[in-house]
Structure 1
C-alpha cells in the first residue's frame, strides 16, 4: 500500500495521479487535512493533518511506502515533518520518500534549512528513506506573467544565475517512480534539463507575448521592498527575494539530468510553460 501525504496540494494531486497510473487506485491512499478536497480523487482518502499528530498514525495504518510532501508552513515545517516521521515509524511504514530542496546539504537558500533538518530526522528515524531534492518549478516563474507583460519588465535579484527548473508534473512523475522503485538510501538531485537566466526568461516572454519585456535586476533589499509594495507580506517578500538572490550564485542549477533519467523523458522546457501561461 502506498500513501501520498499532502495529496490535495498542487504537487500532491499530480503525484497521486502518477502513482495511481503505476500501481492502481486500489493500492493508493490519499492523505489530506481536508478530505473533501479529494472527493474526486478515485482513491481512499484519510484525514492526516501535520499539525494534529493524533490523526497521523491511523491515517498510515497498512501503508508500506509514504510520499511525504513537505508542508508549506515555513517556520513550522520541521515540527510537522517530525510528527509524520514519528507516526510512520509507529505505524510500521517501511519507506518514506521526502520532497526536499535541490542540493539541500550545501544550498545557501534560506528555505533549505528546514529541509536539512528534516533530512536529519529521517536519518535518525531508522526508517528507509529516499530524498527527492527538487529544484524550482517552472510555474514559480509563470504564475503572474500578465502584469510583467503589461509593464514590460520582470524584476528580481537573480543576476546572471542559471536556473534549471522543471514543471510540477515532471517532479510528480519522479516522486511516483521513486516511491515505487527505490530501495532506500537514494538521493536524487532533481532539476530541468536546460537552464536559463532571468534575462533569457524575459526574452522568451517577450517573444511569446509579442511585446518588449526586459529583466530588471535589483539589489536583494530593493527587490524585497518592491514585492512588499505590490502587497506581499513582509516575510514572504523576504523569502522570495532571498531565493532570487541566492539563485544568482547558481543555487538552482544542476546539470546531472537525474530528473529526466528518472522519469524516462526530457523535462518540460521553460518556453513551453511560458507559452501555456500566456495562451
Structure 2
C-alpha cells in the first residue's frame, strides 16, 4: 500500500501523516506533496517521500502519484481559486489512475447551499467525472478553528464571542485530530470506495454553551453576543478582511442559523471507532496550551 497526501505540511496533513505512521504504514510508502519543500524537511528526515508541487503550476504534479496510491486531496486554502487548483491535482491523479482519490470537502456535500461550499461541490463533480474510485470526507467545522478555540486567548481578552449566529442555533464540530483519524482510517482500510461520509461531532452545541464552557474552565467570564449580519460584515471588513471573504463568513453564520451544520449522522465516530472529542475537551486542551 502506498499513500499520497496533498497539503501535507498543513495542520490537518501533518496529523494524518502522524496517524498513518502510528497505524504502521512504512514511512517510505507515504508521499507528502507540499508547495514548499523546506516546510517538509522534517518529513523527509523521517523517511517520507516528499514531492514539491504547486497548485498554481499543474505541470509540477506530473509524475507525483503512482497507480497504486491511495491519495488524499486536502482542500486548498485560497478561497475563490480552489476549484481550479484542485483540478490540477485531480487531472494528475486521473492521468496516473490512482487506486483511490479521497477528498476533504465540506459537510452537506451537494446539499450544502452556502457560499463556502461552492468550490467543494465543484471539486466533487470534477472527481466524479474522472471515474476514479473516490471517497468524500465532508468535514463539519473544526472546534479548534481560528474563530473557536484557536482564538481562545482573544476570546477571553474580549470577554465575548460576537457573531450573527442566533442564540438557539447549533453546530456539531469536532477537532482536527478526529477528522485526521477518519482520513487515516479510509486510507488504510477497505470498504470506503465510491462512498461519501458526512463527518461531524456526536453532539451539536450553541455559541452560548461554548461561552459558558470557556467561562467555567478558564474562570474568565465570556458571553455570546448576537449582532445583525450587516453589522457583522462591517466589523470584519473594518478589521481588514476583503469584502468577498467577509460575505462568505457572514453567510456561514446564516447556514448555522438554518441548521445546515447541526447534523450528527455518526459517520465520524464510526470511522474512528470511538466517540468524537467533546467540545469541552478541546477547550481544556486549548487552555492547557495557553498555560504551557
TM superposition score category, shorter chain reference: over 0.9
Pairwise CA distance, 1:92 = 2.5
Q: Name the structure 1 match of 2:172.
A: 164
Is there any run of 5+ residues in structure 2 with no aligned partner, and where? none
Point out 4+ residue stretches in structure 1 off by more than 6 angstroms. none
Aligned mates of 1:120, 1:62 — CA distance in 2: 21
2:64–2:92 contact (8 Å) kept in structure 1: no
For residue 277 of structure 1, report the CA deviation from its aligned partner. 1.9
Task: State the distance in 2 between where 1:64 and 1:231 align.
Answer: 42
Residue of 12, 27, 30 corresponding to 2:29: 27
Between Structure 1 and Structure 2, how many residues are aligned? 279
Matches of 1:172 and 1:8 in 2, distance apart?
13
TM-score by length of 2: 0.91
User: Cα distance, 1:175 vs. partner?
Assistant: 0.5
Equivalent pair of 1:57/1:88 in contact (CA under 8 Å)? no
| Cα RMSD for the two superposed structures | 1.4
The aligned residue for residue 151 of structure 2 is 144
Name 1:97's counterpart in structure 2. Answer: 102
1:235: how far off?
2.9
Q: Are 2:67 and 2:99, in contact at CA under 8 Å, matched by a contact in 1?
A: no
CA shift, 1:227, in A, is 2.1
1:54 corresponds to 2:55 = no
Asked if 1:258 corresponds to 2:263, the answer is no
* Aligned equivalent of 2:204: 195
* Structure 1 segment 67-216 matched on structure 2, within 5 A: 67-140=72-145, 141-159=148-166, 160-181=168-189, 182-216=191-225
| Residues 174 and 200, structure 2, Cα contact 8 Å, conserved in 1 | yes
1:75, distance to aligned residue in structure 2 (A): 0.8
Match of 2:39 in 1: 37
| Most deviating of 127-136 and 245-254 | 245-254
- CA-CA distance at 1:13 after TM superposition: 0.8
User: Where do 5+ consecutive residues of structure 1 fail to align?
Assistant: none
- Checking the alignment, whether the CA contact within 8 Å between 2:62 and 2:92 is kept in structure 1 is yes
Query: How many angstroms does 1:63 deviate by?
Result: 4.8
Q: CA deviation at 1:183?
A: 4.3
* Alpha-carbon contact 2:4-2:70 (below 8 Å) kept: yes
